[in-house]
Amino acid sequence: MTDDNDLVKRLRDRAKQERLIQANNEAVAAALMGQRLLFDQGHRSPSNTYAVRLSLDHEKCAKQDAELAADWDEAADHIEALTKQLEAARLDAKEAKARIEELQSRLRWVIEERDDTFARMLRRAEEAEAKLAKAVDETLDAASAYMKKQYGIEALSHPVDRARIIAELKGDKT
């Protein structure tokens, strides 16, 4: 922005200088206007041809200086307008960034809450599975002891049998 402000200041200064040059050229043209009037009257009045040409040149230069000054001002105005647009765009971008950061924060919170809820549910499921496994083991141990006592058979003591029974209780079809 500082560079833009410096540039605008330099352009305005240049326009001011062109206007001063324009005023000088207009003053010279006006001072020599008498010779032009004499020239316009023709051969009846003596005129200085060099002064007439100088007057016309200064008049032409004054017009060009006015155009240059207007161009410098227009360029400065254009830069100022673009600078304002850029600043407005930066403010819009800052607001958008702040909104995005706010949404990201809220999303992180939702994800963390969901993860916490999922973790709690997973812990509960693992606890329930452990309780079920313990209950199944106790039941199988009791049934095995009963069969051994009553019938003298070693049943349901093999880990594969226990795993198959637990899988069936869970609903696995393996």
User: Are 63 and 18 contacting, i.e. CB atoms less than 8 angstroms apart?
Assistant: no
Q: Any residues with CB less than 8 A from the CB of 134 and at least 6 apart, and which?
A: none
Over 60: is that where the pLDDT of 174 sits?
no
Q: How is residue 3 written in tokens?
A: 């560079």
Residue that terminates a domain, selected from 89, 109, 139: 89
Tens-place pLDDT, residues 106-161: 998 988 888 888 888 989 988 988 888 788 778 878 877 887 787 777 766 566 66
60-74, 76-90, 160-174: range with lowest mean pLDDT: 160-174
Provide the domain count of the chain: 2
Residue 46 maps to a domain: yes
**pLDDT category, 173, cuts 50, 70, 90?**
low
Q: Any residues with CB less than 8 A from the CB of 28 and at least 6 apart, and which?
A: 54, 55, 58
Cα dihedral sign, 48-49-54-55: positive
State the CB neighbour count (10 A cutoff) for residue 25: 20
Residue 114 maps to a domain: no
Q: Is 76 in the same domain as 131?
A: no
Would you state the pLDDT for residue 148? 76
Q: Supply the range of the domain harboring residue 162.
A: 121-170
Nearest-angstrom CA–CA distance, 82 and 139: 83
